[in-house]
């Protein structure tokens, strides 16, 4: 049995911080009890490893934490670099699923290779599990990846967002000759540019190439974007605008509802959404939850598509897809031969799929005809899970959809625009890339502009949201930490 006591700054719903006294009692095998100011706030089972936090980055999700549908107060922060008692450095994948805790069991999501979408997960620094702005964390055992010796701290602390950036690039799959724009290159956006540049460099050996454009309201960011690999840059000055559909793909990293509206205007083939700001955007109430579930929004085909070219074929389930049909119009006759179709409201359908005895208890695809229908497919019961559609599933807009008031829905139905999304990426792949590319391993030197001791977390937050800051890092070494056997 181990006992750790320390002080940390809780983030509260009113966007302020308050000092609290925490205590962890337990061990990796039997579990942990977490108390705040003497009151038990969380009882964890086995599979959590105690680590000392070294550094933690401040990201847009942290700055928008008060908008997210998870309880506060909480010690937040999830871009963590930590170390064990022997000084070995670790980065920590943030989702505490059954798989990440090294547990077996009957979780359909963990078995299906979707542990980051496990319905019973809690999330480091975001949902219940105290995060890296405190000096100690309890990290899922299988989520702790040791940092190679040749990867410096400044790059290691960026592994979580860099892995997410690589995942975004893999999702949009840039095509030869395309123009890929990153909208809002700052904290995450610069890493997306770096990830695009790394993938572009790998592919150029095989003759494939694409353009990387940085699009920013702040022209001061554009020279830095070039150092990360942008091949063209554009300042969104008040007196100059880019033409509609200027780029094949736009990756929105702005963390702003207005960013999605602009991305829809600028993209020809696809908008990829990375922003989790928790606010309504483009006529959708649950855009952040759509990103959390990594869903895609596409048009329903106006006629029967050829084999292998249906929008649900991107799921690669190997079985006939489950289609939840909530649109008012009747399903076309050809659909019944290619999918398992159930009609009804989202509330009715989510209850139906919950009883599934095979596969995930979700639909693979939802067909809707309005913005409210999209929201209902994402969160049928309000902000709480479960969704109607499986993680990384597809929501299709019927050709007769009501699109008034949403430029996004109008673009999907009218010109076939795709909205895709992604969040957490593969930490191991990110570490391998950083360890084998010395120039890429210098990303922290260029991206991190401000460092703060943990005692100055309030100042770190204020600075991280300011125009002059690219990336702020919090470093530990105080707050009255004590440890005892």
CATH of the domain at 164: 3.40.50.720
**Rounded CA gap, 106 and 96, in Å?**
16
For residue 377, being part of any structural domain is answered with yes
Share above pLDDT 90 across residues of the chain, in percent, rounded to a whole number: 80
Terminus-to-terminus CA distance in the chain, angstroms?
7
Query: In this structure, is residue 428 part of a structural domain?
Result: yes
**CA 441 from chain center: how many Å?**
22
* Closest listed residue to residue 283, CA positions, set 146, 412, 191, 437: 412
Q: How many CB atoms lie within 10 A of CB 268?
A: 18
CATH code for position 126: 3.90.180.10
Indicate whether 96 and 176 sit together in one domain: no
State which H helix or E strand residue 264 sits in.
Answer: helix 257-266
d(CA 441, CA 450): 18
Identify the residue whose tokens are 């799959």: 173
Residues 238 and 332 in one domain: no
- Count other Cβ atoms within 10 Å, centred on residue 338: 16
Model confidence pLDDT, tens digit, residues 221-271: 999 999 999 999 999 875 567 899 999 999 999 988 999 999 999 999 999
Please check whether residue 417 lies inside any domain of the structure: no
Question: Is 235 among the domain residues?
Answer: yes
In a domain, 357, yes or no: yes
Task: Give tens-digit pLDDT for 125-138.
Answer: 999 999 999 999 99
Task: Examine the domain organization and report whether 269 and 315 are in the same domain.
Answer: no
Amino acid 69: pLDDT: 85
Residue 265 included in any domain: yes
Residue 289, domain member (yes or no)? no
448-469 pLDDT, tens digit per residue, is 999 999 999 999 999 999 988 9
Q: CA 104, 108, 110 angle in degrees (round to 5)?
A: 55
29 and 49 fall within a common domain: yes
pLDDT at residue 207, rounded to an integer: 65
Pinpoint the alpha helices (H) of 320-426. 346-353, 371-378, 407-415
* 207 and 261 part of one domain: yes
* Cis bond upstream, residue 355 (ω within 30): no
Cα separation, 449 vs 430, whole angstroms: 22
Instruction: Count the domains in the chain.
Output: 3
Give the least confident one: 81-90, 170-179, 186-195, 381-390.
381-390
Supply the CATH number for residue 313's domain: 3.40.50
Range of the structural domain that residue 243 is part of: 152-276+423-437
Mean pLDDT, residues 269-283: 90
Strand partners, 145: 91
Instruction: Tell me what pLDDT residue 206 has.
Output: 65
pLDDT at residue 482 tops 80: no
Do residue 254 and residue 343 come from a single domain? no
User: Rounded to two decimals, what is the model's pTM?
Assistant: 0.92
Tokens of 354: 């919950």
Residue 238's pLDDT is 52
112 in the same domain as 52: yes
CA distances for 407 relative to 98, 219, 371, 403, 420, angstroms: 40, 27, 11, 8, 16
Q: What is the mean pLDDT of residues 410-425?
A: 96
Question: Domain check: are 172 and 117 in the same one?
Answer: no
Is 95 within a domain? yes
Chain centroid, CA 29 distance in Å:
30
In a shared domain, residues 146 and 77: yes
Average pLDDT over residues 31-42: 97
The confidence score (pLDDT) of residue 358 equals: 84
Which tens digits make up the pLDDT trace of 349-397?
Answer: 999 999 888 889 999 999 999 999 999 999 998 877 789 999 999 999 9
d(CA 6, CA 20): 9
């Amino acid at each position: 049995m181990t006992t750790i006591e320390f002080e940390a700054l809780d983030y509260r719903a009113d966007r302020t911080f308050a000092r609290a006294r925490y205590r962890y009692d337990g061990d990796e095998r039997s579990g942990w009890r977490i108390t705040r100011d003497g009151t038990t706030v969380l009882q964890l089972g086995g599979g959590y490893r105690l680590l000392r936090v070294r550094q933690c980055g401040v990201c847009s999700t942290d700055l928008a934490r008060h908008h997210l549908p998870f309880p506060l107060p909480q010690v937040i922060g999830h871009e963590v670099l930590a170390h064990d008692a022997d000084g070995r450095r670790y980065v920590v994948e943030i989702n505490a699923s059954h798989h990440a805790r090294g547990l077996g069991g009957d979780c359909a999501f963990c078995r299906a290779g979707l542990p980051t979408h496990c319905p019973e997960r809690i999330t480091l620094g975001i949902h219940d599990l105290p995060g890296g702005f405190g000096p100690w964390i309890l990290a899922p055992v299988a989520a702790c990846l040791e940092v190679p010796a040749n990867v410096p701290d400044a790059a290691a602390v960026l592994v979580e967002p860099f892995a997410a950036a690589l995942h975004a690039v893999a999702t949009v799959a840039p095509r030869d000759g395309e123009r890929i724009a990153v909208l809002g290159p700052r904290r995450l956006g610069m890493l997306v540019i770096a990830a695009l540049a790394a993938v572009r460099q790998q592919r150029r050996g095989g003759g494939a190439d694409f353009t990387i454009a940085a699009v920013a309201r702040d022209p001061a960011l554009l020279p830095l974007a070039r150092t990360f690999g942008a091949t063209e840059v554009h300042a969104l000055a008040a007196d100059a605008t880019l033409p509609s559909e200027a780029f094949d793909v736009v990756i929105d990293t702005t963390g702003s509802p207005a960013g999605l509206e602009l991305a829809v205007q600028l993209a020809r083939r696809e908008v990829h959404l990375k922003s989790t700001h928790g606010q309504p955007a483009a006529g959708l109430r649950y855009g952040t939850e759509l990103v959390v579930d990594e869903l895609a929004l596409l048009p329903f085909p106006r006629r029967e598509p050829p084999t292998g070219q249906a929008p649900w074929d991107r799921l690669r389930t190997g079985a006939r897809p489950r289609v939840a049909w909530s649109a008012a119009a009747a399903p076309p006759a050809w659909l019944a031969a290619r999918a398992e179709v159930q009609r009804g409201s989202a509330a009715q359908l989510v209850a139906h799929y919950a009883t599934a005895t095979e596969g995930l208890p979700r639909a693979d695809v939802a067909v809707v005809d309005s913005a409210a229908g999209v929201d209902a497919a994402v969160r049928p019961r309000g902000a709480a899970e479960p969704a109607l559609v499986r993680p990384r599933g597809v929501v299709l807009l019927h050709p007769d959809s009501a699109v008034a008031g949403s430029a996004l829905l109008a673009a999907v139905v009218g010109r076939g625009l795709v909205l895709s999304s992604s969040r957490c990426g593969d930490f191991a792949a990110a570490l391998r890339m950083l360890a084998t590319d010395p120039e890429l391993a210098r990303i922290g030197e260029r991206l991190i502009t401000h460092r703060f001791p943990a005692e100055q977390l309030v100042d770190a937050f204020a600075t991280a949201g300011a125009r002059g800051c690219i990336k702020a890092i919090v470093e530990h070494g105080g707050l009255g930490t004590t440890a005892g056997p």
